[in-house]
Structure 1
Amino acid sequence: MNEKISVVVCVYNRFEYVRNILKSLIEQTADIHEVIFADDGSKTDLQEAIKDLIPLCKFKVKIVWQEDIGFRLAKSRNNAVKFSEGDYIIFMDQDIIFDKDFISKIIKHKKRGNVVYTKALWTDSKQRDEIQKIFDIDYNYKRIYSIIESEQHIKALKSIKKARLYSLLYKFHLRKRGGKFAGLFISLYKDDLLKINGFDEKYIGFGYEDDDLANRLFKSGINTIPVDFEFFPIHMAHPSSPSEAESPNEKYYRDRKKEIFKGDYRCKYGLDNPLGEDKPILKLEYIGEKDEKKN
């Protein structure tokens, strides 16, 4: 059976980065079923910003928008999952780019009961500008990667090696958690996410929602598969949001962590019980070239 792959891209403004990631996804060698943009209430129209790229997509493209009433990353991700058709879901932030074989390699590692993830190399503003100049002219990832310093690549490899050790220790019950991962890029089977009721929507405002997800997945029995690359994904630098100065979620996170490690790994407000009265809006559903041919 061919399993469907859904890619969920978290979005809030900064559409120049959304264009970058959509270009990266268009170039992928993997068979992607759909790309869903989980829009946390962007002020301007995302569909307008990417309208020239949409006809180039061989996969479905969806935009799932929610009202902007605070930083609600967890809820926006859950919204996307509800509209997803895939068996396997790849979550990523809007501000990364990657090589054409990136998704293909991730899919090769997918395994039920595991989160597959990797590291992204963080750039400074100078590197970002140099990379963007190349990216605007030609999607040549090897050339783009030449901007990255070797120390950045080596650091990522060391981090993956450490994560593999943690995953092994967790497997043999010598650690409470496997390798550390963040929402910048993670992937897993939808069934494994449903088991913990998705992302906890009580995380409103910046911070801790990814650590909470990891705690709940690990307590449910999920392990991790850290993946290394010849060319890692690259995070395009940008100014920090004012909301990132401090997190209002720390106390809730600490309290929930105690409950989670006692066995309560399903969140109350998640996929089956959304928090708040507002409903997500499906602003776009573009059927890609492959699906048009089937109909």
Structure 2
Amino acid sequence: MKASVIMSTYNAEAWLEKVIWGFSVQTEKDFEIIIADDGSGPATKTLLERLAQEISMPIVHVWQEDNGFQKTMILNKAIMAAQSDYLIFTDGDCIPRADFVATHLSHRQAGYFLSGGYFKLPMQTSDAITREDIVNQNCFDVHWLKQNGLGAKKTGKLTANGFMAKLLNFITPTKASWNGHNASAYKKDLIDVNGFNTQMQYGGEDRELGERLFNKGLKSKQIRYSAICIHLDHARGYVDDATWKKNNDIREYTRKNKVVRTLTGISTD
């Protein structure tokens, strides 16, 4: 397979189903879907068993017991389960445009990782999206989105294409960091840095991985106006100040000491 798409999830079946429908209509078909499941209940397993019969891409369900926010740990397990040498990362609340996988593959390059973004939707719009809207790509049409509650918002990320998308990728002031909802890299590079730091919970854990890839000598490519996904709204009950401080301290140590390989990652040797 040309790629393994790794997406994280936790007890969010309605959103996860929409995301998998998005991947089912990709222009590039030669990839697997790996669900990095941080302890969801039986409903997620039931959903995935049904969808596996309805779409052409293989679905691999990598699950661990629910023990709080351990996204970094389950992502490391998903990395090791991947059958492809190129890994695309997203979240189970981000619906990809039909050219999402093809775009990542067309921009991949040895010595680089790719950095994309997302277009955030309000709850009303997130709820309104149906399977048909995903299959027909209505949910990426600005007029349709505004008819369904988007409101006043800059939409250049959805409308840019061709030369304009390349230009905006080049001139955007947003740093091409590792963004877990839209990033990709060669599996070998991720294993070389020992994957995600499992000491980290929510808040900067993706960026810290990217910082170690930079320390390894990789560069990054900005594709936020080319690899498009829309972010479905949800609550964030797992955010707290103490965790942010801990994670920021780890990131500062990583930068200051030019850490490449975390000691608490895929391997704890």
Deviates further, 13-22 or 260-269: 260-269
Aligned-residue offset at 1:256: 4.6
Cα gap change, 1:161/1:261 in structure 2, threshold over 3 Å: closer, same or farther? farther
- 2:48 maps to a residue whose letter is I
Q: In the TM superposition, what is the alpha-carbon distance from 1:218 to its structure 2 partner?
A: 1.3
- Other-structure match for 2:118: 120
State the TM-score, normalized to the length of structure 2.
0.84
**1:89-238 alignment runs, 5 A limit:** 89-130=87-128, 132=129, 134-136=130-132, 139-142=135-138, 144-146=140-142, 147=145, 151-154=153-156, 164=170, 179-203=176-200, 205-229=201-225, 232-238=228-234
- C-alpha deviation, 1:262, in angstroms: 2.6
Q: Larger deviation: 108-117 or 71-80? A: 108-117
CA distance in 2, matches of 1:230, 1:256: 28
User: Matched residues in 2 for 1:229 and 1:249: separation?
Assistant: 29
- How high is the TM-score relative to the length of structure 1? 0.78
Residue 140 of structure 1: CA displacement?
Answer: 1.5
Contact 1:118/1:160 (<8 A) preserved: no
The aligned residue for residue 4 of structure 1 is 2
Q: Does the alignment pair 1:261 with 2:253? A: no
Aligned residue for 2:56, secondary structure, equals: coil
Aligned position for 1:248: 243
Alignment of 1:269-280 (within 5 A): 269-273=264-268
> Whole-Å Cα distance in 1 between the matches of residues 113 and 165 of structure 2?
16
**CA distance in 1: counterparts of 2:198 and 2:73, whole angstroms:** 5
* SS at structure 1 position matched to 2:185: strand
Report the Cα distance in structure 2 between the residues aligned to 1:145 and 1:69, rounded to whole angstroms. 39
- RMSD between aligned residues: 2.9
Distance 1:94 1:83, change over 3 A: same
The number of residue pairs the alignment matches comes to 259
Q: Distance in 2 between matches of 1:125 and 1:103?
A: 26
CA distance in 2, matches of 1:124, 1:47: 27
Q: Name the counterpart of 1:283.
A: none
Runs (5+) with no aligned partner, structure 1: 168-176, 275-295
CA contact (8 A) 2:116 2:179 kept: no
- Following superposition, the deviation at residue 162 of structure 1 comes to 7.5
Contact 1:35 1:59 in 2 (8 A): yes
Instruction: Name the CA shift for 1:70/1:249 in 2 (closer, same or farther; >3 Å).
Output: same
Asked if the contact 1:13/1:43 (under 8 Å) is kept, the reply is yes
One-letter code aligned to 2:239: E
Identity %: 24
The aligned amino acid for 2:230 is I
Which is further off, 115-124 or 150-159?
150-159
CA contact (8 A) 1:98 1:141 kept: no
Q: 5+ unaligned residues in a row in structure 2: which ranges? A: none
Question: Mean alpha-carbon deviation: is it higher for 97-106 or for 154-163?
Answer: 154-163
Determine helix, strand or coil for the equivalent of 1:86: coil
CA distance in 1, matches of 2:95, 2:30: 16
Q: CA deviation at 1:145?
A: 2.3
Higher Cα Rg, which structure:
1
